[in-house]
Amino acid sequence: MTAKTSDIAILLAGKSHPHVSVRVGREFRAIEIGKGGIAALDEATRRAIRGAAVMARVDAAFVDALPALEIVSSFGVGYDHVDAAYCASRNVMVTNTPDVLSEEVADTAVGLLINTVRELPRAEKWLRDGRWKKDGAYPLTAATLRGRHAGIFGLGRIGLAIARRLEAMGLAVSYHNRRPVEGVAYHYHASLKDMAAAVDTLISVVPGGAATDRAVNAGVLEALGSDGVFINIGRGSAVDEQALIEALSAGTIRAAGLDVFADEPNVPEALLALPNACLLPHVGSSTQHTRRAMANLVVDNLVSWFDRGTVLTPVPETAGLKQE
């Protein structure tokens, strides 16, 4: 701990990973935010805060309440809870935690796909409920991964890690982004709906936010078709959840596997009741190994900013900002 950084006040906002709290406490002057939020901090403390390690909403009011704020270091690669454009306009650097979680989240996505298509959670329940002994073998699944064609909505860092796994498993892979990815041989579709019509397995890995809001809508699900499987490992906001419930209920698509929801942790009763929905409580990156790597990156960005005036993983909106 240098004399310089130990004097710097860093706010811990939201339910911080314990390793973030420990390291921030060791390397900086940590300010815990209580139930009262920023408003409960005294003015001198608010004015002293130069950085924030967050797992919480950061809006204009948050930024304006902290006049000396230089950096928001957010836990997670998705930063739709941070108003990064506003931060940029106030010269506040924003960082996230890309790459260190990509392989873990891709593993989860593939597990969720297999569980959804091969009904493994339901087969396990069959065994645990004693039905294997009582009723015999679990019924053969109507769906298979064999011969499937996956369409990845969002071929970024995680999307690419999923694509590589699916390719190794013998699936055909296509993708839709706003722009084609250079150096990638997978077939590119300029339209999400056209891609949905061309594939039978749609995997959403796009960030949340206005640009992707309810992009997977009734028309896209209809295009996916009656053997269609939809997997969402990105953000719940990218799907029209009501349209998805209707498509699953009516057999417009076959099944869905969801790790993310529009209003977490509130999952609609209608989804809970559907046997063809395989549901996970947002566990894409949830291993001790990966969460610790994410926690380290949150603090490494703060250390780098206050030691050298640069960060390791800025979000695009603030990538050009310099320390004043």
Residue list 224-253, contact with ligand NAP (CB under 6 A):
233-235
Please identify which of the residues 50, 235, 254, 291 carries the catalytic annotation: 235
Query: Which region holds residue 99: left if phi is over 0, alpha if psi is between -120 and 50, else beta?
Result: left
- Between 112 and 223, CB nearer to ligand 8YV: 112
Q: DSSP string spanning 220-258?
A: HHHHH-TT-EEEE-S-GGGB-HHHHHHHHHHTSSSEEEE
Other beta carbons within 10 Å of 60: 13
Among 9, 41, 54, 101, binds ligand NAP (CB under 6 A): 101
Token digits of residue 157: 């860092």
Q: Is 75 in the site for ligand 8YV (CB under 6 A)?
A: yes
Strand ranges across the sheet with 277-279? 187-188, 172-176, 149-153, 201-204, 229-232, 255-258, 277-279
Stretch that binds ligand 8YV, among 32-40, 114-122, 282-290, 307-315 (CB under 6 A): 282-290
Other beta carbons within 10 Å of 3: 6
Which DSSP category does 296 fall into? Answer: H
Among this protein's residues, is 282 annotated catalytic?
yes
Among this protein's residues, is 118 annotated catalytic?
no
Q: Is 153 in the site for ligand 8YV (CB under 6 A)?
A: no
Collapsing DSSP to helix, strand or coil, 164 comes out as helix
- Between 78 and 228, CB nearer to ligand 8YV: 78
Among 14, 78, 159, 257, binds ligand 8YV (CB under 6 A): 78
Name the one residue in this structure whose structure tokens are 């950085």: 51
Among 84, 87, 101, 297, binds ligand 8YV (CB under 6 A): 101
- Residues near 319 by Cβ (< 8 Å), separated by ≥ 6? none
Q: Is 315 in the site for ligand 8YV (CB under 6 A)?
A: no
Among 74, 285, 290, 301, binds ligand NAP (CB under 6 A): 285
Say how many Å lie between the first and final Cα of the chain, rounded. Answer: 23
CA distance 100 to 156: 14
Q: Is 151 in the site for ligand NAP (CB under 6 A)?
A: no
Q: Which residues bind ligand 8YV (CB under 6 A)?
A: 55, 75-78, 101, 282, 284-285
Q: Where in the sequence numbering do the catalytic residues fall?
A: 235, 264, 282
Q: Which residues bind ligand NAP (CB under 6 A)?
A: 77-78, 98, 101, 105, 154-159, 177-179, 205-208, 211-212, 233-235, 259-260, 282, 284-285
